[in-house]
Amino acid sequence: MDEADVTELFEHYRTVKRSAEADGGRFTLLPFFVKALVTVLKDYPIFNASVDEERQEILLKRYFNIGIAVDTPEGLIVPVIKGADKKDMIRLSDEIADLAERARQRKLTLEELRGGTCTLTNIGPLGGVFATPIINQPELAIVGLHKIQDRPVVVDGEIAIRKMMYLSVSFDHRWIDGADGARFMTDLVRLVSNPGLLMARL
């Protein structure tokens, strides 16, 4: 688990939101986290992989199909954004909204639930401080996003109110070392804390 100051990300989001919604869609913060996750997965391919339990083999994926955990009346459903690295944020936002709505209506196809390489779960809107999400097997990792809230923090030696959030990553420790987990999270926090850097890496 780690903590991120997402004040600049939130301000950047608010700046582009109106333009992004010009065609009538709904633009959220989630695509920024999807893009940040994909960027870090490229640097840490073991987190974008699955395990073949029978053969005891790791399958490293060269594509980025991000599962998005959706809370529905029938329980958690994880539709998959295929080729998330190849889609811009407006398209990602539209696709996430569509998949989430059809997940709640039980209208997803089996194909839309298969083929994930890593999962993202947005726990923040449901409450709680932080959590340890359970891996969506046979994937090897899942990232949890937690509540964004205003908190006093020290910035350049002075107290300031910043938008802060916790992030967590759960991973299969049989295949992924804890030190790599820490490095993975450090790099993810760096990207969501600095939207300029994130844009430069896309």
As annotated, the active-site residues are: 173
Residue with tokens 């994937």: 139
Tokens found for residue 156: 């350049």
Residue 11, Cα to own-chain centre: how many angstroms? 19
Contact 101, 122 (CB under 8 A): no
Burial call 155-185: b when 16+ CB within 10 Å, e when fewer: eeeeeeebbbbbbbbbbbeeebeeeebeebb
Contact 61, 93 (CB under 8 A): no
The CA R_g of the chain, rounded to the nearest whole Å, is 17
In whole angstroms, give the CA distance from residue 8 to residue 172: 32
